[in-house]
Chain A
Amino acid sequence: MEGLPILSLMMLAPLAGAAACLFAGATAARWIALGATLVTFVLGVVLWSNYQIGGPQWQFTERAELFAGFSYALGIDGIALMLIMLSVFLMPVCILASWESVQKRVGEYMAAFLFMEVLMIGTFAAQDLFLFYVFFEAGLIPMYLIIGVWGGDNRIYASYKFFLYTLFGSVLMLIAMFWMVAEAGTSDIPTLMQYSFPTSAQTWLWLAFFASFAVKVPMWPLHTWLPDAHVQAPTAGSVILAGVLLKLGGYGFIRFSLPMFPEASAQFAWLVFALSMIAVVYTSLVALVQTDMKKLIAYSSVAHMAIVTVGLFAFNVQGLEGAMIVMLSHGLVSGALFLCVGVIYDRLHTREIARYGGLAINMPYYALFFLLFTMASIGLPGTSGFVGEFLSLAGIYQTSSLVALICTTGIILGAAYMLYLYRRVAFGGQVNADAAAMRDISAREWVMMAPIAAAVMWMGVYPESFLAPMRADIAVLDARLAAAAPAGDAKLAPGAPRAAAANAMPHHEGSETSSAKEGAH
């Protein structure tokens, strides 16, 4: 694999597909898009299998001086690898989700999605600050078109709001980037991650980056674009928005804010905590009263992403690992939940919860998948949601019991709104005749849901596969943060290790194991 520019290839495949889709007819465009995303996914699998756990921090690096002012530099660490895998995994699913529901301007639609994939991979793989910005910001164009052209009734308002909110957040970050590059003399991200900026400047830089990432995550009170965008976007648009685009904010925190400005991050941790606590409680309550399914899931996304931000700013390994797992898990689960909504929306063309009911009777397989993803969203043990939320909250508990306490209520409230949603949609009597007449999921929908379900279970049962590639990078980050980490209120005092296991039986003659141990004395 040496010398093969696999990251560039992963971007080239969807790019070529996008160009082909623009000129292809509807059916051809669907197949081209599916083919291109599958090729990219296969390349992603190759990427993961060739990634050396415990190898150099930055792998698959590429560099070319193509532009004036910044360079084309790519490379990934474990964190980026996982997020790239998430993107390339969700992409074929998105294409399948739009197979029948998108009927107008299919070629352009598929091209927009494939272009989006190029940009997402580029964002996670960029090793040059400005190259990152180009990819990060360019995502506005396809997403604006996806919401605006193929969205619902109020799509224009939603697309404007999405565009202007995120643009305003990002431009301030660009100014901060110029300052950093002028100060450090390089735009190389790995170098900047080790560079110590003056503490007074860090405050401003952190705030500028925060403006951008807080909008992307989104954090309360900057989240209002999200429900609008989600509700109006087509199903696949929602999947990508929730599955990957929101992760750009979290990725930004973990890649830029924390390692580049550790002191400022510690200084502003209270701000992140306060906003996250409000978000968890407030958006969960808002989700509880929604009558629109997509809006409910959108609000739940805000609550889940708040768990991510508290985990990130816990300044310890559990918190960081938990935040990463919540991001991956939320990417899969919320994406799957939007697919679930899309499945019944395609049949009945309404997202109103009250129009459904008793779907478990006529759509048993659908109800099964929906239940699994509902449980994963709540964080049931055995699903990916549990692992992430547990680690994240365990991390924050070491830093602040209060924050942990309030954020944990989010899990309870999450159970409330998700179970309430599920009860109204899947259980109860079949009050609506048209909803009762809907057929169960088709083979195409099986193919969409089953891989996500498998991934959710895998991550829930054996998270080590996902944690292992990131472990070294998180350790490096934790070491970098150690000096700045705020004193937690947990006051963990390691006691003296016990001499014997807690459940060891009192000494008996003839007991095999203990006699063997004792015999050594």
Chain B
Amino acid sequence: MEFAASFALVMPELVLIAAGLTLLLVAAWGGDKAARLIAIAAVAAFFAAGFLLVPGLHFGVDGPATLAFGGLIKVDSFALFAKALIYLAAIGALMIAPAFFDGPSAGTERGMRAEYPVLILFAAVGMSIMVSANDFMSLYLGLELNSLSAYVLAAILRRDPRSGEAGLKYFVLGALASGILLYGMSLLYGFTGGTSFTAVRAGLTGEMGYGALFGVIFVLSGLAFKISAVPFHMWTPDVYEGAPTPVTAFFATAPKVAAVALTARVVFEVFGGQVAAWQQIVMFMALASIIFGALGAIGQENLKRLLAYSSINNIGFILLGLAVANADGASAMLVYLFIYVAMSLGSFVALLMLRGEDGALFETFADIRGLSVTQPAIAWALLLFMFSLAGIPPLLGFYSKFVVFQATIEAGLVAFGAIAIAASVIGAFYYIKFVKVMFFDEPAGVATGKSGAAHWVLLGLTALIVSPLGYLLTPSLTDLADKAAASLFLTV
């Protein structure tokens, strides 16, 4: 009976796993011709899984009733919020993929491979387990399921050397990070005698020894790699540049959400009794990410690399909410994540819609010169995303910075917040460069914007969220995020 209750709790994951396995068989027999059908089925599966999250999200769930499989999994409001975001981002990544793989940018192998939607499904399952992990074992399981799918996704254009390079780099460095994380976990296990979050937390009370402290540091370093926070960010630009653009869009959104949510859960639920031990680390990572993410982006000519640095920069602001170490900060972080997903997804969709005369995707600043004349709709949408990423009101990106900084100041970290916000001005420099190139420079050549309805729908939707109208969403968004954050702090 208890097993049945557990299965009921993980129903969304079960839907996704069932869909993934079935579609894998379809892919094996149907081949790449069935790819589009598989993608549609995968989107449907995500919608079904997402639909299952709605009641829990709406009413808020926490407490012992959310524990499944003897405490390995915890499906509280926080996990539900993160899952909803992950599924939305995954749907986006699936919607934009077919058109890309049909174009000449995909290299010699035209057409979407049938494995692509399946891998996204498995990655999403892994991420779902990550965000609802309540034990270091389930955490690692989810993380690896996600990472292994992601390595393959990065290298999915087998004949494109850049894609292969991205996959290999991601794999080698990802494996290293997993190793560091695993080492930290083993240290914690050794010093506390348990792998479940509650056991480790109980073992970490009082004066913390060096061994346990090293465990905390190693675990945080491993997680920092996954969220690409400075100083563990160096892989991000290379992987983002090399991976096929839809995959990059996926990497910039869903796994980020999962890794950030996981980090939040670990620091609050496991290290929640030892705030002093990790707060400085997170503060350092936040400031360093904001500053290096901004400085690194300044010299970039490649748009995907630039967006990679932008994501590092944004992770810094998200970590700012984490560093506050209270429920307000966690709620602000979740609001930021939602807005960040919309902004990143929108930017990547816009990039995917821009093709030159030969049909190749635009990749550098030189390509998008004068875009406001040749492709006004896309240029205006990109303008919204860039100003939003820079945090300029009245766009919704301002609201994300607003909540994070408000939480920081209310917690009394005034100097920290002041430095971070001053550093955010550096970031504004390259976002407005984007606008400058599109609007102030003379057009470079013909840009064809012939894109499918899926792209336009996604672009319109994200632009609408980011536009000032998005502020009307903020009351319900804040409400959901507050519930999610509250469930996270139930144990503290």
What residues of chain A have their CB less than 8 Å away from a CB belonging to chain B?
65-69, 105, 108, 130, 133-135, 137-138, 140-141, 144-145, 148-149, 155-156, 159-160, 163-164, 167-168, 171-172, 174-175, 178-179, 181-182
Contacts and interface: CB of A to CB of B under 8 A. Distances in A.
Contacts of A130: 402
B87 interface: no
Given A68-B474, A140-B392, A141-B387, A174 B436 contact: no
Contact of A174 (B405, B472, B479): B405
Nearest to A165: B425
Contacts of B432: 144, 160, 163-164
A156 B440 contact: yes
A105 B425 CA distance: 29
B409 A179 contact: yes
A68 B480 CA distance: 12
Contact of A148 (B402, B410, B439): B439
Contacts of B472: 66-67
A178 B417 contact: yes
B424 interface: yes
Contacts of B372: 105, 108
A232 to B, nearest CB: 11
B475 interface: yes
A66 B440 contact: no
A134 B398 contact: yes
Nearest to A178: B409
B330 to A, nearest CB: 16
A171 B402 CA distance: 11
A163 B405 contact: no
A397 to B, nearest CB: 38
A163 B428 contact: yes
Contacts of A67: 471-472, 474-475
A75 B443 CA distance: 45
A168 B424 CA distance: 9
Contact of A171 (B373, B422, B439): B422
Contact of B440 (A148, A174, A181): A148
The 6 A-B residue pairs whose C-beta atoms are closest, nearest first, are: A178-B409, A68-B478, A134-B393, A68-B474, A148-B440, A171-B421
Contact of B477 (A68, A163, A168, A182): A68
A69 B428 contact: no
Contacts of A144: 432, 435
Contact of A164 (B414, B429, B440, B475): B429
B259 interface: no
Contact of B425 (A108, A133, A168, A182): A168
21 contacts: A68-B477, A68-B478, A68-B479, A69-B402, A69-B478, A105-B373, A108-B372, A134-B393, A134-B398, A141-B387, A145-B439, A148-B440, A149-B439, A155-B440, A159-B440, A164-B428, A167-B425, A171-B425, A175-B409, A179-B409, A179-B414
A436 B401 CA distance: 56
Given A149-B440, A163-B432, A175 B421 contact: yes
* Most interface-central of B429, B471, B477 (chain A CB within 10 A): B471
* Most interface-central of B410, B425, B474 (chain A CB within 10 A): B425
A175 B405 contact: yes
B394 interface: yes
A168 B478 CA distance: 28
B417 A175 contact: yes
A172 B436 contact: no
A134 B394 contact: yes
Given A130-B402, A148-B436, A159-B436, A178 B410 contact: yes
Contacts of B418: 172, 175
Interface in B387-435: 387, 392-394, 398-399, 402-403, 405-406, 408-410, 414, 417-418, 421-422, 424-425, 428-429, 432, 435
A66 B393 CA distance: 16
A185 to B, nearest CB: 11
Contacts of B405: 174-175, 178
A95 to B, nearest CB: 21
Nearest to A151: B440
Contacts of A68: 474-475, 477-479
Nearest to B481: A68
B435 A164 contact: no
Nearest to B391: A171
B229 to A, nearest CB: 22
Interface in B455-492: 471-472, 474-475, 477-479
Nearest to B407: A178
B436 A156 contact: yes
A438 B399 CA distance: 52
Contacts of A163: 428, 432
Nearest to A180: B409
A68 B405 CA distance: 15
Contacts of A155: 440
Interface in B76-121: none
Contacts of B422: 168, 171-172
A148 B436 CA distance: 7
Nearest to A175: B418
Nearest to B437: A156
B154 to A, nearest CB: 35
A167 B410 contact: no
A148 B394 CA distance: 20
A155 B478 CA distance: 41
A182 B409 contact: yes
Contacts of B403: 69
Contacts of A148: 435-436, 439-440
Contacts of B439: 145, 148-149
Contacts of A145: 435, 439
A49 B38 CA distance: 67
B385 to A, nearest CB: 13
B424 A171 contact: yes
